Structure 1
Amino acid sequence: MGFFSSLKGQLGRDTGRLISNKVYGNRHATKYQRVDNSKNIAKNIKLEQKYELELLEKEKNNEIDFLKKKEEIKNIQEKKAFVDQNLKKIIGMKIPNSKDGIIENLHSLSVEITSNKWKDSDDEINKISNIYTDALFKKYEQHLVTLKSKFPNAIEIQYFDKQSKTYQKQAFFQKYKLAIIAIPFIIFIVWGITSGYFERSDKETHQRNNELIDKIFK
């Protein structure tokens, strides 16, 4: 009787507590419910804080990307202004009639080309910069052709001719170096696929691994 009376009393108290919680809400709720609500509130606060931090981080990254883009546009505009201004000078450069004048200009153009070497064409700023260097080299060649035609016996021709060939190689390799580096890998991949090399390599590797495992466990 004592056990059943105690159980009955506990059920009565639990039922009463449930009804009280439903009727009066949190104000008269038991301490157990208040603990659960506190946990839920703390959990929600953490979730809200995490969400707000994610939003702030996203806004910060967007702002950084915007500033980078703005800086890139500024650099492109400055490079365009530099190239446009100096292109006019190069285009307007007259080829002297004297041998010494031509040679002097060739030396000046050579220094300018060396100071503004060709760069990889994949970058937008580099493309703009290469326009200026191309113009320098074209003017260099015009002077060299004039030197050869007017003064064919000039001993300086050999030197400037050699420099011209060097610049041609630099222009090609610097502009397209990424493509040149990638071509051998592309050829190797195509050859490997068509010849079945990769498939054979996989089989050989698998076979060697099996042989090694057999040796270990024998």
Structure 2
Amino acid sequence: MGKFEDSFKRQVGRDTGKFVSNLIFGDKHSTPVRVSVRQEKMKLEKERFENERDLERQRLRNKQELEKKELEIQQEHLKQKRLNEIRSEITQKIDALAAFELPLANDEIIRLLTKWDVQLKSHSFGNNEEGKTYINQYMDALKCKYQQGIQRLVQNGMTSSEIMPYQKTIQSYYRKKVWSIIGIPVCLFGALFLIIILLTIFD
């Protein structure tokens, strides 16, 4: 019994000492088990914080992407609306031009051709600008009406030399239209051909 009592007293003394030490010094003098639990808790807290931060970042990215998509949809809607308005306006102008009756007198026809001449010469072709395709369609219709005016002048007895300026306007219109289609490929081919020539010369 003496040994058991001594052993029991020593164990109580050790536990009491740990308790008092922990009260005074905190975890610095605690048992390894308590330190491990505290570290594990801190690790879990850190992981939870990082997960919440990642989720918040993801929510922010999702919100920004959604707002971007909504803006793109609105812009596309407005663009389509503008194109529809342009198409409707051009269609009305083409219909009005088709229904327009050319005057009979040469001086009135010449006055009209002079007015249209400015539009045909100043028009630049292209399909990249918004609504440009529809505008090109109107100019083609105007060109046809312009040619009808020339034919009316011929029927009224105007000579070839008198008609020539108006014919040149039509030719210029065709050149610009053809160049708008083949201009870039021709320039690229010309540049490539020039490079080949230069490489051949300096080889």
Q: TM-score, normalization: structure 2?
A: 0.70
**Aligned 1:86-165 pairs, distance under 5 A:** 86-114=93-121, 117-121=123-127, 125-153=131-159, 156-165=162-171
Q: Deviations over 1:135-188 (max 9, x none)?
A: 0011011111221232323864222222221112122223x1xx5313554688
- How many pairs were matched up? 174
Instruction: Give the gaps of 5 or more residues in structure 1.
Output: 1-8, 22-28, 198-203, 205-218
Q: Which amino acid aligns with 1:17?
A: R
Q: Which amino acid aligns with 1:54?
A: R
1:17 to 31, 34, 45: 34
User: In structure 2, do the counterparts of structure 1 residues 172 and 189 end up closer, same or farther at CA, with 3 Å as the change threshold?
Assistant: closer
Q: Does 1:52 align with 2:55?
A: no
Q: Which amino acid aligns with 2:158?
A: P
Q: Equivalents in 1 of 2:184, 2:121: separation in Å?
A: 23
Q: Equivalents in 1 of 2:83, 2:63: separation in Å?
A: 30
Instruction: Give the gaps of 5 or more residues in structure 2.
Output: 1-17, 19-29
Q: Equivalents in 1 of 2:187, 2:100: separation in Å?
A: 42
Aligned-residue sequence identity (percent) comes to 18
Q: Equivalents in 2 of 1:37, 1:154: separation in Å?
A: 96
Which structure carries more relative contact order (alpha carbon 8 Å, separation 6+)?
2
Determine if contact 1:90/1:139 at 8 Å carries over to the other structure: yes
Q: Does 1:181 align with 2:188?
A: no
Q: Equivalents in 2 of 1:64, 1:167: separation in Å?
A: 40
* Structure 1 stretches of at least 4 aligned residues deviating more than 4 Å after TM superposition: 186-190
Structure with greater Cα Rg: 2
Cα RMSD between the aligned structures?
3.4
